[in-house]
Amino acid sequence: MTTKKVVIIGGSIAGLSAALVLASAIKGELSFELAIIEKGGKEADLYKADVYNVPLFKAGINGEEIIDSTKEQLQKLAKVNFIAGEVTEISGEKGNFMVNGTGFSEKADYVIVATGANACNIKGLESFVKPHTLMPKPGKICLEVGARNVIKDGIYAAGIVSGVTTMVACAMGSATESACAILSDIAGNVAVIHDFKGSR
Ligand SMILES: Cc1cc2nc3c(=O)[nH]c(=O)nc-3n(C[C@H](O)[C@H](O)[C@H](O)COP(=O)(O)OP(=O)(O)OC[C@H]3O[C@@H](n4cnc5c(N)ncnc54)[C@H](O)[C@@H]3O)c2cc1C
């Protein structure tokens, strides 16, 4: 049995979407220990939106509803450790990261950074911060990523911090790509997770 610990920083739509994909991949010989660290305070851009343009979302759904229902869906697939706090530092390397913040210190094999476009003050990532050129407001940032959202080996960006256009569906797609990139890294080959009729 292979068990990988993934720490996700940011518990809005991108962080939850990445967790959902990884949780859905838990079966047979592969398991994940998932932790989502969220600093709270409703800074997430998602809390500022009423959403009418995402397929299958109820018209006009707001951020609280999206987060609550996605958490409910997630918890049906896996036990997730939700940690309240702000991440201030990532150190170490793939397979042996330490994610530190206010009152916690989490070990991780992989880290997903889903911190949005408002700021990224995490020690260890400073050199990757750059202006977010697809956001029409001043002061918005993203992180320099390579193929498949890799920031550096074992650390992935997800959502608008990866530089995608600021739309909920783009944030979800980016997060899904990062989760599948982790699945591929573990498999040593291209990996996706597809359910089919009656498979659960
Ligand atoms: C006014 C407004 C209206 C919008 N309307 C629409 C719309 O109609 N349709 C649409 O598709 N999109 C809309 N959007 C865009 C959409 O809200 C964003 O694209 C989406 O929320 C991005 O998701 P995300 O998870 O990447 O980032 P965010 O939703 O910004 O979440 C980032 C999360 O990371 C957390 N975080 C940050 N740093 C740390 C840290 N160091 N430690 C722990 N946690 C941390 C934050 O607290 C936050 O919860 C709107 C945006 C705004 C501002």
Distance 120 CA to ligand 1 centre (A): 13
Distance 141 CA to ligand 1 centre (A): 12
Atom of ligand 1 nearest to the CA of 52: 8
Query: Would you state the pLDDT for residue 102?
Result: 86
Do 47 and 64 form a contact (C-beta atoms < 8 A)? yes
- Which protein residues are within 6 Å of ligand 1, measured from CB? 9-15, 37-39, 43-46, 48-49, 51, 53-54, 86-87, 114-116, 122, 159-160, 166-169, 171
Torsion of CA 34, 39, 40, 46, to 10 degrees: -70
pLDDT value, residue 134: 97
pTM here? 0.98
Testing ligand 1's pocket by substitution, the residue of 115, 172, 177 carrying the most ligand atoms inside 8 A of its CB is: 115
Ligand 1, atom 1, lies closest to the CA of 48
The pair of structure tokens assigned to 146 is: 């390579």
Which residue is listed with tokens 């260890």?
A: 124
| Encoded tokens for 87 | 């991440």
| Nearest C-alpha neighbor of 10 from the set 110, 85, 61 | 85
pLDDT, averaged per 10 consecutive residues of the chain (200 residues), comes to 97 98 95 97 95 97 98 97 98 98 96 98 98 95 98 98 98 98 97 93
Question: What is the number of the ligand 1 atom nearest to the C-alpha of 168?
Answer: 11
Q: Which residues contact 44 (CB under 8 A, 6 or more apart)?
A: 10, 12, 13, 63, 67, 116
Distance CA 5, CA 175 (A): 17
Protein residue closest via CA to atom 12 of ligand 1:
167
**Residue 25, Cβ density class (10 Å: 0-12 exposed, 13-18 middle, ≥19 buried):** buried
| Per-residue model confidence (pLDDT) at position 138 | 93
Helix (H, G, I), strand (E, B) or coil at 31: strand
Atom number of ligand 1 nearest to Cα 17: 25
Q: How far, in Å, from the CA of 30 to the mean position of ligand 1?
A: 30
CA distance 165 to 117: 11
